[in-house]
Amino acid sequence: MPRAFITGITGQDGQHLAEFLHGKGYEVFGMVKGQNNPRMSQVVEEFPFVQPVPGDLADLPSLVKALEMAQPDEVYNLGAISFVALSFNQAELTANITGLGVLRMLEAIRMVGGHTNNPIRFYQASSSEMFGKVRETPQTELTPFHPRSPYGCAKVFGHDICVNYRESYDLFACSGILFNHEGPRRGLEFVTRKVTNAVARIKLGLQSEVVLGTLDTKRDWGYAGDYVEAMWLMLQQDRPDDYVIATGETHTIADLLDRAFAAVGIDDWHPYVRQDPKFMRPAEVDLLIGDATKARTQLGWTPKVDFDTLVTMMVEHDLQLEATKHGMPVPARS
């Protein structure tokens, strides 16, 4: 049975990946930080096959012990301070976990299992936020980086150190430059889930409006369930490499509102949406759209869920969730 070790197991991608690898017959280990991490008991309840291992991306000796315990064939580093808005307020913490955390994990891999006959294969969760103020459109593996937030800067360091360790020490280390990927497990602080959850609550009469920042920025939004397959595919190749993972389509926040409100039969969302500068960022990423040709041709990967299906899936999930929580009947599909 192959063994996989995942950091960020309690997050959206960690949960999708754990499920995916379990389906492929892997033994799955998930790193848990802190004492009594409440999100871990949720994960253990939902995914009883995940074996929790203590460790923290801020603490190299703990990573060495975690790898010695799990003895993985594959390590997926999905753990990070992942919310761009928060990274402006906690920039140093973001640099430490999202950036230096990658270096610590690479060092731990070198110490524990980088040079055996069956060296550990490493996946780094790089991000389209590294492109920031984009230098070309669409963005590919060769597009220069110009990050616009402490999160983006930390991800650039993580990406570059991953490439550097691959070139310096011959590690099997891959970076997936994933564009935004969403789904019902997305945190409520991200704009897609904030909108789909608010739309469900508005439809049920539990909320009257949703307050947002800019409505003009454009994102290449895909489905997280599709994207974790790409992570795994990268580690099954003969040689390590970096890949852009994206849908190749871009939409504004206004498009997201159109689609989400339409899913509950509301044609004009303007009466329900207010803008507040407190949700605007000191520097913004205006446009992201990825070219995943390399992943398509070399990994045989393609996204299966399109934008409309994704948003509708999230709204329907949130309708069910909110109705159940408040003991209400789920409205019929519009």
A 10 A CB-CB count for 283 gives 12
Piece of the chain touching ligand GDP by CB under 6 A; list 54-62, 133-141, 156-164, 276-284: 276-284
Position 194 contacts ligand GDP (CB under 6 A): yes
Tell the residue number behind the tokens 């197991």, with chain if given: 9
Position 7 contacts ligand GDP (CB under 6 A): no
Position 201 contacts ligand GDP (CB under 6 A): no
Position 105 contacts ligand GDP (CB under 6 A): no
Tell me how many residues contact ligand GDP (CB under 6 A): 18
**Cα–Cα distance for residue pair 316/334, rounded to 1 Å:** 10
Tell the residue number behind the tokens 């789909």, with chain if given: 196
To which H or E segment does residue 222 belong? strand 222-223
Position 279 contacts ligand GDP (CB under 6 A): yes
Position 84 contacts ligand GDP (CB under 6 A): yes
Q: Kindly name the residue from 27, 129, 182, 322 that is annotated as catalytic.
A: 129
Active site residue 182: no
Instruction: Please state the three-class secondary structure of 98-145 as a single string.
Output: HHHHHHHHHHHHHHHCCCCCCCCEEEEEEEHHHCCCCCCCCECCCCCC
Active site residue 127: yes
Residue 84 CB, nearest approach to ligand GDP (Å) = 4
Among 15, 62, 139, 180, binds ligand GDP (CB under 6 A): 180
Position 148 contacts ligand GDP (CB under 6 A): no
Among 141, 255, 284, 308, binds ligand GDP (CB under 6 A): 284
Active site residue 151: yes
For residue 150, give every residue at least 6 positions away whose Cβ sits within 8 Å of its Cβ, in sequence order, or none. 87, 88, 90, 91, 94, 95
Piece of the chain touching ligand GDP by CB under 6 A; list 31-39, 139-147, 277-285, 313-321: 277-285
What is the secondary structure of 2-42 as a DSSP string? -EEEEESTTSHHHHHHHHHHHHTT-EEEEEE-SSS-HHHHH
Q: Which residues carry out catalysis?
A: 127, 129, 151
- Residues forming contacts to ligand GDP in the complex (CB under 6 A) are 84-85, 129, 180, 189-192, 194, 212-214, 217, 219, 253, 279, 281, 284
